Amino acid sequence: MSHSENCIFCKIAAGAIPSRKVYEDDDLFAFHDIHPWAPVHFLIIPKLHIPSMAQVGPEHAALLGRMMVLAPRLAVEQGCNPYPAGGFRTVINTGEEGGQEVHHLHMHVIGGPRPWLKG
């Protein structure tokens, strides 16, 4: 299925629900998380409605690869310091026991200076 009627992230990718956009191309959309865990916290999603990583197949390999390639570029653009002193965390929650709340595949990219991580 290309999009899902009641999916909030499909609506965000389509511009039907406003978001603070970070990036967009034909296949991917990135936007700031509404409840950031860190100074930098955005989500990268495929425009295609894939409920979670549990539904990913070989036909999605290129799409997932593109999400991975995009993450470090956008992280730096959004203010993450460069590797290795800086860097960022990527998180993909899958299913209820994986902590997934929105059932449209998304990669969290989390970073920026967080003094509480040190020492």
Neighbours of 111 (CB within 10 A): 21
Binding mask 74-93 for ligand 5GP (x = CB under 6 A): -------------------x
Contact status: 4 vs Zn ion (CB under 5 A): yes
Distance separating alpha carbons of residues 34 and 73, to the nearest angstrom: 21
Strands 107-111, 40-46: parallel, antiparallel or unpaired by DSSP? antiparallel
**Residue 90, both tokens:** 């990527």
Active-site residue, 106 included: yes
Distance separating alpha carbons of residues 28 and 47, to the nearest angstrom: 5
Among residues 98 and 118, whose Cβ is nearest to ligand 5GP?
Answer: 98
Q: How many residues make contact with Zn ion (CB under 5 A)?
A: 6
Binding mask 32-71 for Zn ion (x = CB under 5 A): -----------------x----------------------
Contact status: 10 vs Zn ion (CB under 5 A): yes
Contact assessment for residue 79 and residue 88, using Cβ atoms and an 8 Å cutoff: no
Distance separating alpha carbons of residues 77 and 94, to the nearest angstrom: 27
Considering only residues 26 to 45 of the shown chain, the ones binding ligand 5GP according to CB under 6 A are 31-35
- Judged by the rule CB under 6 A, the positions of this chain that interact with ligand 5GP are 8, 19, 31-35, 93, 99-102
- Judged by the rule CB under 5 A, the positions of this chain that interact with Zn ion are 4, 7, 9-10, 49, 104
